[in-house]
Structure 1
Amino acid sequence: MAFWRRSPAWPVVLRDDSFTDPPGGTLILRRLVRRDRDDWMDVREHNADWLDRWEATLPPVLPGRHPGGRSRSAPTFGEYVRLLDGAARDGTTLPFAIELDGELVGQLTVSSITYGSMCSASIGYWVSEHVAGRGIAPTAVALAADYCLFELGLHRIEVNIRPENAPSLRVVAKLGLRDEGLRVAYLHIQGRWCDHRTFAVTAEEVPGGLLARWRGQQ
């Protein structure tokens, strides 16, 4: 943890200028900001059927009790951005907007960043259906994983996916992440506890970087 405290690297911009999948262009991971509100709301609205079934939800709590003493009401977009920035400054999260040639097309979050004897983090992501299948999600995951493994000094990155989420399973398959098995009732999704499969990669498995390995497979 001390490493992060000495060098709070936020905001961070990660980019791939060699994004070659037609029609090509530049893929950027950057901080989500307040002025993204309209674009973010628009892409979420147009992808409701595509994304909502995979969205995490808060489990029920006992009457009169709230997790952490906080309200369960949904934050405004401005509050959401502020919460993300706070977590990033604390060093526990890296919340990125995914941008392709200036268009906001998704989001990627590195969460549960832990140093000490574990040195690990978890990556979650979503992309708009109209750009799915073009290599955007695996490229974004590879960019973020390489930053965590070789800039932040983490050892292990994991991705947790619902077994029935075929598009997301294709992402980790393309990247060659190791399947570590099933986590039973791992996350609360759309009102119920759902199983997830865990996929992971360590720094030793990709000495040249996950992005380079992914590019070599294309």
Structure 2
Amino acid sequence: MDIGSEEITDGVILRIADPADAPELCAAYVENRKYLEPWEPRRAESFFTVDGQKKRLQEQRQLFAEGRIVPWIFESDGRIVGTITLTGIVLGPFCSSYLGYWVAEDQRGRGLATAAVERVCRVARETVGLHRIEATTLVENTGSQRVLEKCGFEAIGLAPNYLHINGRWRDHRMFQRVLHEADPAL
């Protein structure tokens, strides 16, 4: 997929993640570890190493080449300040994927997540050919819920015990955005 990079707001670039990003992505995760802890699964210590991130980015690159995910990073002044990823891409009659993202604690309130979600929805529709995107948030994650609602996602339900987050099974609110009504490619 030819997606390229794009400035999404105030000098912040959204671009496809690359294994060469491992040192900077590792630094971003280490810096934001406590901030992200309530919202993410528990991670092995290797996740917070350059080698762990390089391996993960190499796996993502392979899945990207297969058309199964699209992994982006947010970059501001040469520093990685978050990620956003379409995962579980399925074409055919489903034409759907899942959306996940995070933004560094010191970047909150700048509109980065909103700008990135809008860009990703455009790429998902125009380049990937998706009909819809699904996203879930912890019930108490009202910040992410506001981002999704601003970007045209609608709440579609509650998923009890949906994901194992920070050491326990947690309920999530489910959202979707329908991108278009065109028939899928045959």
1:96-152 CA distances to partner (integer Å, 9 max, x unpaired)?
111134331101110010111110011100010111111000111111111011222
| Structure-1-length-normalised TM-score | 0.73
Q: Looking at CA atoms only, which structure, 1 or 2, has the larger radius of gyration?
A: 1
Residue of structure 1 equivalent to 2:87: 111
2:99 pairs with 1:135: no
Task: Confirm or deny: 8 A CA contact 2:18 2:61 kept in the other structure.
Answer: no
Deviation of the 1:34 alpha carbon: 3.4
The match for 2:29 is: 44
Looking at structure 1, the residues matched to 128 and 145 of structure 2 have their Cα atoms a distance apart, in angstroms, of 26
Deviations 1:40-78 (A, max 9, x none): 2222222112101211358xxxxxxxxxxxxxx757222
Identity %: 34
Pairing 1:180–2:156 present = yes
Superposed, 1:148-167 pairs within 5 Å as 148-167=124-143
Segments of 4+ moved more than 3 angstroms: none
Given residue 20 of structure 2, which amino acid in structure 1 is its aligned partner? R
C-alpha separation in 2, matches of 1:33 and 1:204: 30
Alignment length (residue pairs) = 176
Cα RMSD, aligned residues only: 2.1
SS in 1 for 2:180: helix
Q: Take 1:86 and 1:57, find their aligned partners in 2: how far apart are those partners?
A: 24
> Which structure 2 residues correspond to residues 3-42 of structure 1 after superposition, within 5 A?
9=1, 12-16=3-7, 19=9, 24-25=10-11, 27-42=12-27
Shift of 1:13: 2.1
Q: Secondary structure at the match of 2:64?
A: helix
Distance 1:200 1:97 in 2: 22
CA distance in 1, matches of 2:132, 2:177: 6
Moved more, 41-50 or 134-143: 41-50
Instruction: Point out where structure 2 has 5 or more consecutive residues left out of the alignment.
Output: 182-186
Give the TM-score taking structure 2 as reference length: 0.85
8 Å contact from structure 1 (residues 96, 107) kept in 2? yes
